[in-house]
Amino acid sequence: MIVTFCGHREIAQTTEVEEWLQTVIHSLIEQGATTFYLGGYGAFDGLAASVLRKEKKNHPSIELILVLAYLNGRQDAVGYDGSVYPELEKIPRRFAILHRNRWMVQSADVVVAYVLHDWGGAATTLRYAKQKRKRIISYSEGTRGQHL
């Protein structure tokens, strides 16, 4: 099972979101998730990667894959098991992240989402995941996101 993430650049309740991510990721690993695609930008992606690295100590077979939006960008793949670059060469640079996010959704079985408002890149990615009828696990304020 392949899992990807979409979320905002900033997180208001970091500790609460981290606890939620720990629960969700552990549950997904128990359900057979083996590969995790991460975009590597923003607080949510960073938090997801951090939680996954902790889980990897107990589940060394899981893979953290950085999905690159730019072939010759400056994104560091240290801390990941590998990286992948979708075929985006013909996409204008300003649309590369949008297309990379769509590729991640298309390639995944599950999308873990931290989307609290309906504008911006994370919201666009979540709408796309819904259109593609992906299994979505969403965090929501007040309920601690218990939508497993």
| Distance in angstroms (rounded) separating the CA atoms of residues 132 and 145 | 21
CATH number of 2-138: 3.40.50.450
| Distance in angstroms (rounded) separating the CA atoms of residues 108 and 69 | 16
Q: What are phi and psi of 26, to 5 degrees?
A: -60, -45
- Residues with Cβ < 8 Å from 24, sequence gap 6 or more? 112, 137, 145, 148
Residue 14 has what pLDDT? 87
pTM above 0.75, yes or no: yes
Contact at 8 Å (CB) between 6 and 125? Answer: yes
Domain positions in the chain are 2-138
How do the pLDDT tens digits run along the chain, 148 residues long? 999 999 998 998 889 999 999 999 999 999 999 999 999 988 999 999 999 999 999 999 999 999 999 887 677 788 899 999 998 988 998 999 999 999 999 999 999 999 998 999 999 999 999 999 999 999 976 544 444 4
Residue 54 has what pLDDT? 96
Residue 140 has what pLDDT? 77
Q: What are the tokens at 26? A: 């552990």
Q: How far is CA 90 from the centre of its chain?
A: 24
Contact at 8 Å (CB) between 68 and 85? Answer: yes
Contact at 8 Å (CB) between 21 and 112? Answer: yes
| Distance in angstroms (rounded) separating the CA atoms of residues 58 and 40 | 22
